[in-house]
Amino acid sequence: MRDDSVQPGTEPHSFLMPPRADAAIYLVADNDPVDDTLVALGYRYVDSSGAREHIEIMPTADRAAEADALVSIFGRLVADLEAIDARNEAIGNPNDPASLYAHIFLYETTEALAIQNAVKRHLEDPRVRTGLLHMVRLFPPDEVVPEPEFRGMQHLPATALRSVVEQLLSLPVTVSYDLRQVSAALQRAGLIVESYQPATDFERPFSSLLALDVSRNLREGRGHGPDVAAIREDVRARLAASQAIADWLRAEHQRRVATSQSPMLRLNKQPFRLQASFNPLDAGDLDVLRAFELLENRAGLLDTMIQLARPTRVRRDAGRAIGPMRLINVSEKGLSAFLLFSIPREAEDADLSSGAFGLILSDGEPDLVLEPRLWSSMGCDLMDPWPNDPPNFLRVRMFRPTYNGQFFQDVKRRAGQDGWWLDQSFVDFNSAKADNFLTFLGAQVQP
């Protein structure tokens, strides 16, 4: 802050954002907590042809108007993604350079929650329910039945830019990495051209979301404060600043790669394709139920993936991981291998306990823990302490075929003695059963 300079952050790379986005979609959402409805919803689509945007402002708390705004914005999103899907289908080869990569960006995770809650409020609206089926189709083509391997999934369809900036950059800002301070710092450093400079009525010390008094002035008709046009312009400015930050992050990643430095953005994605198993225009009640079940499964897995994409130190401090651990000894009995570790004091209060499902043992490398298809090759169980185990030790059990497998032995060589991490992955025992039951019910329906 003394030098007003942009410096490297706590992590050299981020697994929350991809290095390529031929079609970038930016969203802004503001919620009024008094009325519990959206006040503003903004959409910007950027590709090689330029940028276009659409902004909806809701001056009243009318729920029907909120539903109309959701349909308007996400109708555009779905139409744009369908066009990308059609092009990539026509190309037919994901390795073709002409294939398009698509990604969704918000600045704050709070905005994603506001959109999610708005959708929940309108599940009785058939247009919104159809939209949920389209949300299922945001996942790449694969079987409808959820599987532990989650095959074909390219992780994280959306990114909260603030989380990426917090990982990668140390900025001259106070208290909060909000859009106003972050974009202004990057602009002063000459890294971006356009920053978010809110008008006086919109400026907040540590947040760039719409202030409560602005939305209340609008909805209560007090006759002073920003009107619909001013709020629309503020949303437009936030969309533009978010795009400027995302563009710079990708450009900086490319600069580092070109100069043989470590890559900065490491979220691995494939050219965008829509889920092909659902037809939202021909969906019966059982299809809707199946979609809800699938969305719950995907939401749970995506939440786990987002947590696993965070640095090991952050995962440990949040109680979701234990490490770095020191391997003391390994003993094999029957069909099990028992590994004894000593753990650092910082990890003694982790939320992981014996009997927890979905634990994975690795060297903490994100390329491993972010690949669900590899979790079974690192799966383990946390044991209750044996009688003579010291208090700062923990014991892990693995099936011997898993422990002696080539994959885990390679992990063991990389981790050595002191580089071990225990993480919580995602396990869903119910979705496949529910889908099988829905399939059974569908077979009973007589024409």
Sequence-ordered list of residues with C-beta below 8 angstroms from that of 140, at least 6 positions apart, any chain: 152, 153, 154, 270, 273, 274, 275
- Tell me the per-residue pLDDT of 56-96, one tens digit each, with 9 for 90 and over: 999 999 999 999 999 999 999 989 998 999 999 999 898 89
- Tell me the per-residue pLDDT of 96-130, one tens digit each, with 9 for 90 and over: 999 999 999 999 999 988 998 898 888 788 888 77
318 pLDDT band, cuts 50/70/90, is confident
147 pLDDT band, cuts 50/70/90, is very low
Helix (H), strand (E) at residue 425: none
Q: What is the pLDDT of residue 138?
A: 65
Average of per-residue pLDDT across 294-314: 79
Spatial distance between the Cα atoms of 255 and 263, rounded to a whole number of angstroms: 9
In this predicted structure, the answer to whether residue 395 has a pLDDT above a threshold of 70 is yes
Contact 15, 370 (CB under 8 A): yes
Preceding amide of 324 cis, omega within 30:
yes
Average of per-residue pLDDT across 423-445: 75
| Backbone φ, ψ for residue 371 (5° rounding) | -115, 100
Average of per-residue pLDDT across 243-263: 95
- Structural domain spans, the chain: 7-278, 321-424
The domain defined by 321-424 folds into Elongation Factor Tu (Ef-tu); domain 3 (2.40.30)
143 pLDDT band, cuts 50/70/90, is very low
Contact 341, 327 (CB under 8 A): yes
Contact 321, 309 (CB under 8 A): no
Q: What is the pLDDT of residue 322?
A: 93
Q: What is the pLDDT of residue 417?
A: 92
Contact 380, 359 (CB under 8 A): yes
User: Long-range contacts made by residues 64-71, C-beta under 8 angstroms, separation at least 24?
Assistant: 66/37, 66/38, 66/118, 66/121, 66/122, 67/122, 67/125, 67/127, 67/128, 69/38, 69/41, 70/38, 70/41, 70/115, 70/118, 70/119, 70/122, 70/128, 70/131, 71/125, 71/127, 71/128, 71/131
Would you list the DSSP string of 391-406?
TTEEEEEEEHHHHTSH
Spatial distance between the Cα atoms of 53 and 40, rounded to a whole number of angstroms: 13
Contact 30, 40 (CB under 8 A): yes
In this predicted structure, the answer to whether residue 213 has a pLDDT above a threshold of 60 is yes
In this predicted structure, the answer to whether residue 429 has a pLDDT above a threshold of 80 is no
In this predicted structure, the answer to whether residue 146 has a pLDDT above a threshold of 50 is no
Backbone region of residue 430 per phi and psi (left: phi > 0; alpha: psi in -120 to 50; beta: other values) = alpha
- Tell me the per-residue pLDDT of 359-378, one tens digit each, with 9 for 90 and over: 999 998 877 888 888 899 99
290 pLDDT band, cuts 50/70/90, is low
Helices (H), 330-430: 366-369, 400-403, 406-415
Position of tokens 């669900």? 372
Q: Give the mean pLDDT of the chain.
A: 86
Q: What is the pLDDT of residue 61?
A: 92
Helix (H), strand (E) at residue 264: none
Helix (H), strand (E) at residue 180: helix 179-188
Sequence-ordered list of residues with C-beta below 8 angstroms from that of 180, at least 6 positions apart, any chain: 195, 196, 197, 198, 203, 204, 208
153 pLDDT band, cuts 50/70/90, is very low
Spatial distance between the Cα atoms of 167 and 16, rounded to a whole number of angstroms: 10
3-state secondary structure at position 227: coil
| Backbone φ, ψ for residue 44 (5° rounding) | -130, 130
194 pLDDT band, cuts 50/70/90, is very high
